[in-house]
Amino acid sequence: MPISEIATQYAQKAGSMNTRSDREESASVTRRGFMNDMSRGLSGIALASLLAGDGRHSRQAFGAESSSQDLQETVSGKSPIRPKINPSRPFAARDPHFTPRAKNVVVIFCAGACSHLDTFDYKPELIARHGQPMPGADGLITFQGEQGNLTRSPWKFRPCGESGKMVSDLVPGLGGLADDMCFFHSLTSKTNTHGPGENFMSTGATLDGFPSMGAWLTWALGSESEELPAYVAIPDPRGTPQSSVNNWGPGFLPAAFQGTDFNASKPIRNLDRPVGVSADIDRRTRDFLQRLNRSHLDRFPGDTELAARISSYELAARMQLSVPEVSDLSSEPDHVVKMYGADDVENPLKASYAKNCMLARRLIEKGVRFVQLFNGAYQTGGEGVSNWDGHKSLEPQYKKHGQVLDQPTAALLKDLKQRGLLKDTLVVWCTEFGRMPTFQKGASGRDHNPSGFTAWLAGAGVKAPFSYGATDEFGFKAVENVTTVYDFHATILHLLGLDHERLTFYHNGLERRLTDVHGHVIKDVLS
């Protein structure tokens, strides 16, 4: 069933919850019918908002009185901190737990497990012992079987920036920005499988059904924008990652806080005015409907479910105007388009990803709290072809992926910095796990490696240039300042002014949190 039809059904369901009299029902139906026509095609935006008002989560979502269970201590011994959400403005900006260093987040997620050994983790010993067995690894079997000998990167590493950070020629544009980056070289994961690994990095859990980091943040903090979703996910031009929408799902949080997914080449459909409806008529109709809704709400003060539904409808209406505007890149100057590589006619995939990077910057400019930008997909081409899963033919595959990733991502970072946005924005580059320092036996690629890999942060609140932690001499295992994904998430939440131990949601008898019962803020990386 089309999502628009599902959204209509939920709208009808929501409207039926206020059957107080025939007259009131008639008025409700009239309003509902109008909005069904106006919101047709709003896809996941309207659905998410409508679900938020269907009554299933109203107590936790909108700050009504908590039960005694809700007030129990967390596993850390600290009392939970619930966001106080105005039901008429569920996405309004909310106070953090303490003074934040960052206000917005851009996550760049390289789906497929981008190799740290071919990008940011320089290992001279791996070069020196190229072709030799890895000491102590006789008969080593990992995700896809037995491993061969140590294999240096096909790309040279060069000193970059004033810091002299060694970065691979695979990503020269990003290497040129090494002085702006805070590297985590000792990350570890709980899984060596892509879907669970994506889930773990995006949600803090390997299973489906848990809230994404963006959902936690927007539930806690709302958004500075009243015209756009608080949380936007931008899938790769080739499709979604392996875990698909779970990467930006709400889990057990109110559905309103899931990510709204669209990209520069596939904007939200059916947002144009119907044929024959002028801009003036559209505006006056919206104004009239708003007066009707407000009058109806005044008759039932304190009805948070009604307020939430009206708010969701109004946001959907505003997005009919704002989303096409923010998605229209035609106003970007030629020099900006060129800087991103969005004009590359010889590499249309790179150009498409570059436009997604431009869209990410425009969303941050408009006050969107959390933008999740994906590089790599699983729906097209399979293993290593459309993603970073380089088992069999790493060099030719990574050569293609590096060209797509490098210039646009570097331009995004430079653009944010030039516009003064980086002082309030945290940029996160990550992937689900790392790669082996060996090539797979009988193949020309690296197998999965959750025992040590790299991510980096840039922007608000972090030291740069800075490197934290290290893998062993071959890049096989994290050995110095070993860091979990829970620690990584705890640090990101801290930068946004949130205590990861107190940001909890009572679900199925447990105080759930992004970091489960783990995680420590890595204070060494804080500026």
pLDDT in tens, the chain (527 residues): 443 443 344 344 444 444 444 444 444 444 444 444 444 344 444 434 433 333 333 333 333 333 434 455 677 788 999 999 887 778 889 999 999 999 999 999 999 999 999 999 999 999 999 999 999 877 777 887 788 999 999 999 999 999 999 999 999 999 999 999 999 999 999 999 999 999 999 999 999 999 999 999 999 999 988 888 899 999 999 999 999 999 999 999 988 899 999 989 877 666 666 778 887 887 788 778 878 888 887 888 877 677 767 776 777 777 777 777 888 899 999 999 999 999 999 999 999 999 999 999 999 999 999 999 999 998 666 678 999 999 989 999 999 999 999 999 999 999 999 999 999 999 999 999 999 999 999 899 999 999 999 999 999 999 999 999 999 999 999 999 999 999 999 999 999 999 999 999 999 999 999 999 999 999 999 99
357 closest CA partner among 43, 107, 103: 107
- Helices 43-52 and 3-15: crossing angle in degrees, nearest 10, is 30
111 closest CA partner among 322, 422, 404, 366: 404
Predicted TM-score (pTM) of this structure: 0.83
CB 117 within 8 A of CB 472: no
CB 152 within 8 A of CB 126: yes
312 closest CA partner among 223, 370, 229: 229
CB 46 within 8 A of CB 312: yes
